[in-house]
Amino acid sequence: MKNFVLFVSVLFLYVSVNFCGRQKNVSDFSGKSVIIQKADSLFSLGKLYSKDSLNQDKALILYKKALDLYKKTGNKYKEARIYQFAGYAYDNKAFYDSVIFYHKKASVIFSELDKKRLEAITYNNIAIAFTISGFLDSAFYYYDKGLELTETTKDTAEFIEIYQNKGISYSYEGDYKKAVENTLKALKYAEEINYTSSIIALNLHIAQYYNEIPEKEKASEYLKRALKYMDKSDNNEVKASFYNTFGEFCLEEKDFAKAERYFLKTLEISKKNGYKRGIAAAYENLALVYLKREHFNKAKEYAYFSLKTEKAINNAEGIISSLIMLGEILRKQNRFNEAEISLKEAKKTAVKKNIFENLPEIYYRLGHVYKSSGQYVKALDAFDSYYSLKDSLLNADLKEKISDMEIKYQSEKKQHKIELLNEENKTKEQKLKTRNLFIISLLLSLILIVAVAYFFRQKALQELNRKENELQKYILQIKNLNSSRENGKQINLRKLSEKYNLTERETEILCLIGEGKSNNDIAGQIFVSTNTVKYHIKNIYLKLDVKNRVEARNKISD
């Protein structure tokens, strides 16, 4: 139904665009009015396209056409709105330099038009983009500018948004006390206007920050506060997400009974509202609970339900995840042939859909199936494929960056050789001149020889110092490479937590998936089991309402 409504809306706007373009001679409207109508239609159509994570380029093309028309009419307000929505589109594409550029252009016009509220919103978006890009000082500067304007407009919703985001930025710095301080300010405003969904999300954020400090009692206190608002919330997605998150906390504490209770609540809400991804995630989480309890028949039943639901919505990553879990459950039951079939189906789906990050885990599971069934040659081949793919995925980004640095270094090295050859040619010319001058005056020749010798000695020392400095810079770049990668990870964590009420663990896992890590690799890095990782991933998909990693990243930005 949702897709049908979107199709009808797009069709209507398309007809409107063409209709407006053909009504140039209509007497009821001036030429300027017709242009504005056509621009409005293009703008609206662009916003519809932008709702689809795969159609940002189409949206940007329509925004550009609308912008050209608005400029013809001198409509500065609409120009600023176009810049603002272009910033949103680039945010969905994760082009954060462009996000900053377009929101800054929008803020300038909003300032000229004295649109303080919209100007504050653009500052908040600029701060978020700076946070993701790793420039936290700039982010805090724009948060403060946004708050200064919000003090004038008294926009409670914007106070909540900016203080919440500022708290998330502080958490990225590891300053959880300031993160709590700013989030509490946001919570105060949310409670003043009884903004239930925001109250739930902010309490969850504070609980997560206290969990990191760590102050477990306070973390538990704010989790319970969030729970109190569940009955007051009419946002079913928020409810489903909360119960899933609460189930996660219980599962980490190995309170399987309580975890099961909350996952069943997630399932109930999702079924009631036809939220199929929530249904699939709840089934898989329940399968994980029973797998940990070693109730394999019940785990297998839920895993089959999850697989059936994922196939119904054609969610490739969900299908692969369910097949991997099913394979693990069957292996635990010593049903090795069925486990092999399930894992091979997961492998086939991953290859067909180009979801290669799942292949290492699939080979790893296959290796254990073959090992458990005594097929040691096949097990060796599977583990060999696992380690090859694992190394390839882990090192691809690092190797690419190092390769770029090597190319740059070699180019500089060649340039240095050219410079040395030029210096050598100059030396030869100087010697010829010196010989000619020697004939004229022996004394002058001696003076020139001494001067030239001194000159080249200084040049050689300078060249030696310069090369040494270049080498030191290159070594420093290599040393800082891993550090910069870690900083990038922390930046993504802030963005993800801020937008969709993800837990710190969920955000960390989603960021690691973006780096190309498999479930098993993530499990090793954050010291949990692969089943727990898989359980977290389903929670992430539930919260973001996405099918795959590309959609997840774009949905978060949206």
pLDDT in tens, 360-382: 999 999 999 999 999 988 888 88
Give the number of other Cβ atoms within 10 Å of residue 13's Cβ: 21
Q: Residue 392 has what pLDDT?
A: 65
Give the number of other Cβ atoms within 10 Å of residue 108's Cβ: 14
Which residues, in sequence order, are CB contacts of 504 under 8 Å at separation 6+? 171, 208, 211, 212, 493, 497
The reported pTM is 0.51
- Token look-up 């090795």 returns 336
Tell me the mean pLDDT in the region 170-175. Answer: 87
- Token look-up 């159609």 returns 55
Residue 141 — pLDDT band, cuts 50, 70, 90? very high
pLDDT in tens, 216-264: 889 889 988 988 887 787 778 777 877 887 787 788 788 999 999 989 9
Note whether 275 and 297 are within 8 A (CB).
no
Which secondary-structure segment (H or E) carries 509? helix 504-514
Q: Determine the residue type at 314.
A: N
Tell me the mean pLDDT in the region 272-301. Answer: 90
User: Any idea what the Cα angle at residue 430 is, between residues 424 and 435, rounded to 5°?
Assistant: 130
Which secondary-structure segment (H or E) carries 133? helix 116-133
Residue 510 — pLDDT band, cuts 50, 70, 90? confident
Residue 501 — pLDDT band, cuts 50, 70, 90? confident
- Token look-up 């928020």 returns 238
Residue 275 — pLDDT band, cuts 50, 70, 90? confident
User: Any idea what the Cα angle at residue 140 is, between residues 139 and 146, rounded to 5°?
Assistant: 90
Q: Exposed, middle or buried, 233 (CB in 10 Å: 0-12/13-18/19+)?
A: middle
Note whether 202 and 225 are within 8 A (CB).
no
C-alpha–C-alpha distance, residues 522 and 524, integer Å: 5
Note whether 284 and 532 are within 8 A (CB).
no
Query: What average pLDDT does the chain have?
Result: 80
**What is the DSSP track for 76-118?**
HHHHHHHHHHHHHHHHHTT-HHHHHHHHHHHHHHHHHTT-HHH
DSSP 8-state assignment for residue 546: -
Q: Residue 454 has what pLDDT?
A: 77
Tell me the mean pLDDT in the region 445-474. Answer: 73
